[in-house]
Chains A and B, each alone.
Chain A
């Protein structure tokens, strides 16, 4: 099975900072990559699919890029409401594996 590795596992940044999270697939997955946000005590929320397509209703400060094995999620200007754990997920084949998550906190 394809493994998904996220880095860092956690980060702390200031409001307004640019934040980048990386996700690496153990094999090429083209652009079959989604990103989710899970706020504390809440259910996951789809942010991005097809590596770079913003889901409806998601703020434009979120963006995704990458193809093949290396992907990034960028928050252009971190806001207090962005405190959450972020997960990548590949979906080109079964099982659609999630990364281990990146916890984002405010400094």
Chain B
């Protein structure tokens, strides 16, 4: 079955760190660019970061640059997001998402995980 499964979310204090993971299955993971998209409670979608299929190129939204690192391990079919210096405004469900087009970096997504909730609060 083609699916993405996120993990690693939870309650963290302001200033803390988390590492989110996304396990992929059912497709050739290394052939597809991947992204993290977040959604604050009751709010819209916000693209956070993307990575090429090889992992050699990464992209970030300006609001998180310097605090977030995206990476992938194609041998483990797993995508990661390291989030540091967490702030209350980082509270959101974090989705991993797969681009539709093979070997492309057109950042629209045909497969989404169920998401993992990150809550930043003291």
In the complex, per-residue mask of B82-122: 1 if CB is within 8 Å of any chain A CB, else 0: 00000000000001000010000011111011110000000
A94–B100 CB distance below 8 A? no
State which size class the interface on A falls in: 20 to 34
Answer yes or no: A23 CB below 8 A from chain B CBs: no
CA distance A34 to B61 in the complex (A): 19
B106–A91 CB distance below 8 A? yes
Q: Which chain A residues lie closer than 8 Å to B108 at the CB level?
A: 34, 46, 49, 89, 91, 96
Q: Which chain A residues lie closer than 8 Å to B115 at the CB level?
A: 43
CA distance A1 to B63 in the complex (A): 12
CA distance A16 to B34 in the complex (A): 37
Q: Which chain A residues lie closer than 8 Å to B112 at the CB level?
A: 43-45
Q: Which chain A residues lie closer than 8 Å to B95 at the CB level?
A: 43-44
Select which of B59, B100, B110 is within 8 A of A95 by beta carbon: B59
Q: 19 interchain pairs (CB within 8 A)? A: A1-B62, A32-B106, A34-B108, A36-B45, A44-B95, A44-B112, A45-B112, A46-B100, A46-B108, A46-B109, A85-B44, A91-B108, A94-B107, A95-B47, A95-B61, A96-B107, A98-B46, A100-B44, A101-B45
